[in-house]
Amino acid sequence: MSQRSDPEDDLLAMAERHIRAYGRVTPARVRVLGLLLAAESALTHAELEARLAGVDRVTLYRVLEWLVQHGLVHRIAGDERVWRFSATPGAGVQHGHEHAHFHCEGCGRTYCLDALRPVFALSLPAGFRCRAAELTLYGQCPRCNQPA
Ligand SMILES: [Zn+2]
Ligand SMILES: [Zn+2]
C-alpha cells in the first residue's frame, strides 16, 4: 500500500485520471481501465471477467460501454465474433481508433499496433471522410515466431 512506485498503482492512478476527465470515478471503472492499461494484448469480456473478482457481468458490461463511449477503450472485432477490448493509446485525447491490429494465430492474442496507421484511410476519393478504420493483420507474434 505504501510503495509509491508500484507500477500497478501508477496504472490505477492513470486510469483514475482518465476517467475523471469524462465523468464519475467508480472503483469498477478504475479497475477495468487499469487492467486494460496493464494488459499487453486486447482482452475479451470473459478474460476481463475472470481477472476481476467481485465485478459482476452486468457491471463489467456497463463499465466497458462507458469506457468505449468516451474513447478510453476501443473494441476490436475478432473473426470468431468475439469482441476484444483494449485501452486506447493516448486516451483522453480524441484519438479515435485509427491504428491497425494484429491477431496472432499462434497464441490467439490480439495486439494494438499503435504505430501502424492505415495509410489508405488518408487516400480516399474526394468527398469521403474516414472516421475509423478496422484493419487486422494475421500471422505470428514475436513470441510465437521464435525458432524452437
Ligand atoms: Zn503469439
Ligand atoms: Zn487497438
Q: Give residue-wise pLDDT tens across range 110-128.
A: 999 877 776 776 788 899 8
Question: For residues 107 and 143, what is the distance between their CA atoms, to the nearest angstrom?
Answer: 9
Q: What is the mean pLDDT of residues 88-102?
A: 67
* pLDDT above 90 coverage of the chain, percent: 57
Name the closest ligand to CA 103: 1
Centroid of ligand 2 to alpha carbon of 125 (angstroms)? 25
The predicted-structure confidence for 30-64, as pLDDT tens digits, reads as follows 999 999 999 999 999 999 999 998 899 999 999 99
Name the closest ligand to CA 105: 1
Spell out which residues have Cβ within 5 A of ligand 2, the ion.
86, 112
146 to each of 78, 86, 106, how far by Cα in Å? 24, 25, 11
Residue among 106, 98, 114 at smallest CA distance from 138: 106
Centroid of ligand 2 to alpha carbon of 58 (angstroms)? 24
Question: For residues 40 and 120, what is the distance between their CA atoms, to the nearest angstrom?
Answer: 27
Buried b / exposed e over 88-106, threshold 16 CB at 10 Å, is beebbeeeebbbbbbbbee
Centroid of ligand 1 to alpha carbon of 40 (angstroms)? 12
List the domains of the chain with CATH numbers: 7-139 (1.10.10.10)
Question: For residues 122 and 51, what is the distance between their CA atoms, to the nearest angstrom?
Answer: 38
Name the closest ligand to CA 114: 2
Question: For residues 111 and 53, what is the distance between their CA atoms, to the nearest angstrom?
Answer: 24
Flag whether the pTM goes above 0.75: yes
